[in-house]
Amino acid sequence: MARFIFGRVVQSLILLCLVSMIGFAVLHLAPGGPLAQFALVPGMSQADIARIAAQMGLDRPLPIQYWEWFTRLLLGDWGNSYRDSQPVLSVIGSRLGATLQLMVTATLIAIVLGVWIGVMGAIRRYSVFDYLGTIGAMIALSIPTFWFGLVMIYIFSVKLGWLPSGNRSTVGDGSFFDYAYHLIAPSIVLALVEVAVWSRYMRSSMLDVINQDFIRTARAKGLPERVVLFHHTMRNALLPMITLAGLELPVLLSGALVTETVFTWPGMGRLFLDSLGYRDYPVVMGILMFSAVLVLVGNLLADCFCAIADPRIRLD
């Protein structure tokens, strides 16, 4: 077990190095590189820019610059925002809660609905329910998240007036009920794609397990079908879903960015877009790296949980 986790941690660290190289490359891709924002300032001469570049150490060879950037990254010094001079990590930290709230709620909806649709689809294979589930999942995967958000706002906020059209809470009302009320529409919108993915994976995972020998044994020894399906099959079919939760993190983060934009949700995705508008590169780079590291850590945790839950994985 310890060996398995150690191996996965080493793999993740190698991946972290590669991820940071990609981030560094993106940073230097901008015309003018990290100096792009100074080039826009009026009255800035070529000599001034060269002086700033030397001060910032940008005239040194790229590998040295990368090493310095990477070590500062590891030490938690991610630079300051151009907008309000706050440290990037604390700017991100102040918005992280809202995004996580949205992502966790959406994932819970996806787990409950997706697992249910997947299990029912697998049990009643090729039934009307199964076909509708399959087609519905493919359509759900094709609907642009932001458009689904607009349709939700149009139906439930504009026409019916049941749900708020945005924001995390009503100003002056900080009750739990108010927060939950504002959370309904955005989390459903974000969950749509996830429900589709979870139901597909759950269905095929159920079918994989249901054809195995130990299920035949369980049936042969006369266990009620209910016990076979929900105790033996579903328990085993749920194991790969732990990995799926990790794998879906980037998709979930992408979706959160779009959902937050439509619902003016004060989260990390919204911060990313605002920072792009202000050309606030330290924050943009910070969020880019932060989300990649979040995905890395999420996948690592998912694999470790999977190994704890399923001893067969550790032996590979």
Q: How far is the CB of 43 from another protein (least distance, A)?
A: 23
Which residues in the 212-251 window bind another protein by CB under 8 A?
A: 250-251
Nearer to another protein, 1 or 26 (CB): 26
How far apart (Å, rounded) are the C-alpha atoms in residues 292 and 303?
17
Work out the number of other CB atoms within 10 angstroms of the CB of residue 71: 10
Q: Using the rule CB under 8 A, is 141 a contact of another protein? A: yes
Closest approach, Cβ 222 to another protein, in A, equals 30
* 158 near another protein, rule: CB under 8 A: yes
Task: Work out whether 138 is an interface residue with another protein (CB under 8 A).
Answer: yes
Q: CB of 269 within 8 A of CB of 95? A: no
Stretch that binds another protein, among 28-36, 53-61, 86-94, 117-125 (CB under 8 A): 28-36
All residues at 6 or more sequence positions from 169 whose CB lies less than 8 Å from its CB, including other chains: 178, 179, 182
Taking CB under 8 A as the criterion, the residue among 115, 122, 257, 302 binding another protein is: 257
Identify residue 30 by its one-letter amino acid code: A
Residue 236 in contact with residue 209, Cβ under 8 Å?
Answer: yes
Phi, psi of 80 (to 5 degrees): -115, 150
Q: Which CB, 181 or 278, lies closer to another protein?
A: 278
Number of residues counted as binding another protein (CB under 8 A):
47
Helix axes 128-142, 88-123, angle to 10 degrees: 160
Return the residue of 62, 108, 151, 309 that touches another protein, per CB under 8 A: 151
- Rounded to 5 degrees, what angle do the CA atoms 18, 260, 89 make? 45
Q: What does 99-134 look like in DSSP terms, one character per residue? A: HHHHHHHHHHHHHHHHHHHHHHHHHTTTSHHHHHHH
Q: Judged by CB, which is closer to another protein: 32, or 224?
A: 32
9 binds another protein (CB under 8 A): no
Contacting range for another protein; rule: CB under 8 A; set: 27-35, 112-120, 181-189, 206-214: 27-35
Fill in the DSSP letter of residue 60: S
Give the residues across from 87 on adjacent strands. 80
Instruction: Give the one residue of 209, 287, 300, 307 binding another protein; rule: CB under 8 A.
Output: 287
* Contact positions vs another protein (CB under 8 A): 14-15, 18-19, 21-22, 26, 29-31, 36, 135, 138-139, 141-147, 150-151, 153-154, 158, 250-251, 253-254, 257-258, 261-262, 272-273, 276, 279, 284-285, 287-288, 291-293, 295-296
